[in-house]
Structure formats: structure tokens, C-alpha cells
């Protein structure tokens, strides 16, 4: 896989990760809202049941259910999980945008290092929220020049290998891709 394909896969992977973490954040936001509203509603009913002249078992039952739901909410901590997922989404989206605007090979390599660090620190992502997406971004013109230069260097290396090794002295592995690379390099040089 060449730099161009790696660049495209980087953009696709980071965008898919950003969208996936965004979906998980929406899920936890929805859970937080539902649980908070249920706790508020049950607390109001508990207070109302204590004030009304009805049996004390109703108020005690509502209080117990409210306490149980509050404990579950505190244990799951959906607002914190939402925040973690949003931060991961922002991090991957920022990496994707940086890669779209990359101009130098050094920056390209640094972004791959950042991506690997981001992968190590990302929160859990359930498989049902994973997104596969193909993007329609293109490289910056500056980075396209770097890629064309790299292809030309690879083409030169392949041609030197072919010249230095004759068929009767040794076998040189010729990749089926080498013809494509040579053709692409020639096309890029002609442009």
C-alpha cells in the first residue's frame, strides 16, 4: 500500500471513528436525559404521595424506586461517559481534518503517530455503533507533490534493481504492482 492509499485509509478510519464515538455519545446523552427526567418525576410523585392522605406504603415504594434509579444513574454515570465519547469524537475528527490539510511528509508521519496514541486512549466503542464510511476528500496539492516524488523515487529504485541484476546471475522479484507504479510515475512526470 502506498502513501496515497494510506492517506485515504487514514481519512476514512478517523472519520468513521469520529462518527462512531459521536453515536455512542448521543446514546449516553439520551440515557442521561431519560434517567434524570425519571428521577425528577419519581421524586415529585414521592413528595406528593407523602403529602396526600394515602397509605404510607405508596410513598415508601416510590422513594425506594427513586433511590434505586438514582443509584443506577450514579453507577452508570451517563453524563461522564457522554463527555468521554465526545472528546474521542473530537480528537478523531481533528486528526482527520489535519490529514486533509497535510503538506509535508514529516507532518504525515506525525499524524500517524497521533492516530496510534488516540487509539490507545479511546473509550470503549460497542460494535453496534461502529460506522464504515467512504469519504470524498482529496490531498492538498503540496502533499500530492510529495507523493508524486515518492512514486518517482520508487520507480527509480525499481529500474536500478532491474539494471544491476541480470537474469542469469540472480532472480529479482517483480511485483505485479511494479508495472502499475511505473505507469503512474510516468503519468505523473508527464503532467
What is the per-residue pLDDT across 10-28, written as a single tens digit (0 to 9) for each?
Answer: 999 999 999 999 999 999 9
Residue 187 has pLDDT above 80, yes or no: no
The DSSP secondary structure of 90-145, one letter per residue, reads HHHHHHHHHHHT--SHHHHHHHHHHHHHHHHHPPP--GGG-----------HHHHH
Mean pLDDT across 107-123: 93
pLDDT at 173: 43
Mean pLDDT across 155-169: 67
Write the DSSP symbol of residue 122: P
What is the gyration radius of the CA atoms in the chain, in angstroms?
Answer: 29
pLDDT at 176: 47
Q: How confident is the model at residue 178 (pLDDT cuts 50, 70, 90)?
A: very low
Is 71 strand, coil or helix? helix
pLDDT at 136: 60
Tell me how far apart the alpha carbons of residues 173 and 176 are, in angstroms, rounded to a whole number.
10
Share of the chain above pLDDT 90, in %: 54
Tell me how far apart the alpha carbons of residues 17 and 38 are, in angstroms, rounded to a whole number.
32
- Kindly state the cell numbers that stand for 187: 503519468
Helix axis angle for 56-76 and 78-100, nearest 10°, is 30
What is the per-residue pLDDT across 24-60, written as a single tens digit (0 to 9) for each?
Answer: 999 999 999 999 999 999 999 999 998 888 888 999 9
- Kindly state the cell numbers that stand for 98: 489535519
Write the DSSP symbol of residue 128: G
Amino acid at each position: 500500500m502506498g502513501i496515497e492509499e494510506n492517506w485515504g485509509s487514514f481519512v476514512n478510519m478517523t472519520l468513521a471513528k469520529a462518527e462512531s464515538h459521536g453515536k455512542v455519545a448521543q446514546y449516553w446523552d439520551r440515557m442521561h436525559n431519560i434517567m434524570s427526567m425519571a428521577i425528577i418525576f419519581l421524586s415529585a410523585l414521592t413528595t406528593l404521595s407523602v403529602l396526600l392522605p394515602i397509605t404510607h406504603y405508596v410513598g415508601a415504594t416510590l422513594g425506594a424506586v427513586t433511590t434505586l434509579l438514582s443509584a443506577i444513574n450514579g453507577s452508570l454515570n451517563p453524563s461522564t461517559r457522554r463527555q468521554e465519547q465526545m472528546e474521542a469524537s473530537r480528537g478523531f475528527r481533528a486528526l482527520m481534518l489535519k490529514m486533509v490539510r497535510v503538506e509535508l511528509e514529516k507532518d504525515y508521519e506525525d499524524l500517524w503517530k497521533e492516530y496510534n496514541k488516540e487509539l490507545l486512549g479511546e473509550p470503549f466503542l460497542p460494535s453496534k455503533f461502529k460506522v464504515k464510511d467512504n469519504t470524498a476528500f482529496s490531498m492538498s496539492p503540496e502533499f500530492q507533490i510529495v507523493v508524486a516524488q515518492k512514486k518517482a523515487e520508487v520507480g527509480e529504485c525499481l529500474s536500478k534493481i532491474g539494471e544491476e541484476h541480470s537474469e542469469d546471475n540472480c532472480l529479482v522479484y517483480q511485483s505485479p504492482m511494479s508495472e502499475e507504479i511505473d505507469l503512474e510515475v510516468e503519468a505523473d512526470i508527464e503532467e
